[in-house]
Amino acid sequence: MLQLEKTVTTVDKQAKPDHSFAAARTIRVLVVDEEEPLTNVVSLALRFEGWDVSTAPSGAIAIERASSEPFDAILLDLGLPDMNGVEVVTQLRAKDITTPIVVVSGRSDLEDRLAAFGAGADEYITKPFGLDVVARTLTKIFRRLGLSASSVVHGDVVLDVQTNKAWRDGERLMLSPIECELLRILIAGERDAWHATQLGAALSVAGFAVTPAQVERHIGALAATVNGEWSPLIVATADGHWTATTAD
């Protein structure tokens, strides 16, 4: 049975461009399937999650709607009356529509999966499926995109404080628990810059007992991972403080 969770809302990046907890608008999902009974059941389940659900019974309608309206995810069946779902994915990606697409299909062959992923699908669920699987898959995507109520967003960095997972520009950042907490402290906006002793005190509140020297080592590792090949985001100031800049 589908487990009901807190309503998930998206981040208002126009109002809060640097960092914020999500709280602006309801997530929108487009369900594409010609089987009306199944579509109704799935739509009802997703609405229980607090998401706004629209439907499309064919590939052409799905492409039209996804091209003209903003959706946060598309749940797409491969067996459509007018075209294969893979073609829908191909056409949407050709239009530079990057909305995450979750394919649902009774086809479990590796070739079908590879075709869907090759066209640009993000996830693949095989029928029959539990409604909780659909909800968990979509929730995982929304967390990665910073659309969860437990997300902290700073520029192109997303930290989900509930799962202790972080991403930059959609790419997973492999951080330790203490590095995740340091990232949260730096991007939460409580102050512009932090000295190692201040970070140590903040970490102790979260249950981490570390010396200033240990803080420096952890934040150095955090900066190396978060900055990576991107523009530097976690940087040290001239007076020995650490801050989270807004990446260009």
* All domains of the chain in start order, with CATH: 28-144 (3.40.50.2300), 151-244 (1.10.10.10)
* Burial class of residue 211, CB neighbours in 10 A (0-12, 13-18, 19+): exposed
pLDDT tens-digit profile of 13-32? Answer: 333 334 444 445 689 999 99
Report CA-CA distances (Å) from 243 to 18, 161, 192, 205, 212.
13, 19, 6, 19, 16
pTM: 0.78
Show the beta-strand stretches assigned E in 73-223.
73-77, 101-105, 123-126, 151-154, 157-160, 165-168, 171-173
State the average pLDDT over residues 99-128: 94
How does residue 247 score in pLDDT terms, banded at 50, 70 and 90? low
Contact at 8 Å (CB) between 80 and 56?
no
Tokens describing residue 159: 């930290």
Show the beta-strand stretches assigned E in 137-238.
151-154, 157-160, 165-168, 171-173, 234-236
pLDDT > 70: percent of the chain: 89
pLDDT tens-digit profile of 2-14? Answer: 333 333 333 333 3
